[in-house]
Amino acid sequence: MWLWLSENLATLVGALAVAAVLALVAWKIVRDHRRHKGGCGGGCGSCPNAGFCHPDAQSAEHR
């Protein structure tokens, strides 16, 4: 078993690294979705239409 480990160490480490990256990506996507953010990927602070993505109860009034 140790022989197998040492032979495939590089692969294991690499695979773990890739898995970690994928997990990070998945978590980020889910988190953004929960916070109703992104869509365009940018932060709303400097989007010219920040007012549109986060409507208030008031500004959502339609005349």
Partner 1 sequence: MSITIALAGNPNSGKTTLFNDLTGSSQYVGNWPGVTVEKKEGRLKGHKDVVIQDLPGIYSLSPYTLEEVVARSYLVKEKPDAILNIVDGTNIERNLYLTTQLIELGIPVVVAVNMMDLVRKNGDRIDTNKLGEALGCKVVEMSALKGQGSLEAAEAAIAAAQEKKQGEHPHVFTGSVEHAIAHIEESIQGRVDAQVLRWHAVKLFERDEKELQELQLAQDLKTHIEQHIADCEKELDDDAESIITNQRYAYISRVIDRAVKKKASRHALSVSDKIDRIVTNRILALPIFVVVMWAVYTIAMGGTKVSIGTMATDWTNDVLVSEWICGNLGAWMEAIGCAPWLTGLVVDGIVAGVGAVIGFVPQMLVLFFLLAILEDVGYMARIAFIMDRIFRRFGLSGKSFIPMLVATGCGVPGIMASRTIENDRDRKMTIMTTGFIPCGAKMPIIGLFAGALFGGSGWIATSAYFIGVGAVIVSGIILKKTKLFAGDPAPFVMELPAYHIPSAKNVLHATWERGWSFIKRAGTVILASSVVLWFLQGFGFVDGVFGMVEDNNTSLLASVGNVVAPVFAPLGFGTWQGAVATFTGLIAKENVVATFGVLYGFAEVAEDGAEIWTLLAGDFTALTAYSFMIFNLLCAPCFAAIGAIKREMNNAKWTWIAIGYMCGFAYVVAMIVYQLGMVFAGHFGVGTVVALLLLAGLVYLLLRKNKYQDSELRVPVRSVAAK
**Residues in touch with partner 1 (CB under 8 A):** 7-11, 14-15, 18, 21-22, 25-26, 28-29, 38-43, 45-56, 58-59, 61-63
The C-alpha angle with vertex 9 and arms to 5 and 14, in degrees rounded to 5, equals 140
Query: What is the Cα–Cα distance from 42 to 33, expressed in whole angstroms?
Result: 13
The answer to whether the beta carbons of residues 41 and 51 sit under 8 Å apart is no
Least distance in angstroms from the C-beta of 29 to partner 1: 6
Smallest distance from the beta carbon of 12 to partner 1, in angstroms? Answer: 9
Q: By C-beta, is 1 or 16 nearer to partner 1?
A: 16
- Shortest distance in whole angstroms from residue 44 CB to partner 1: 9
**Where do we find the tokens 């005349």?**
63
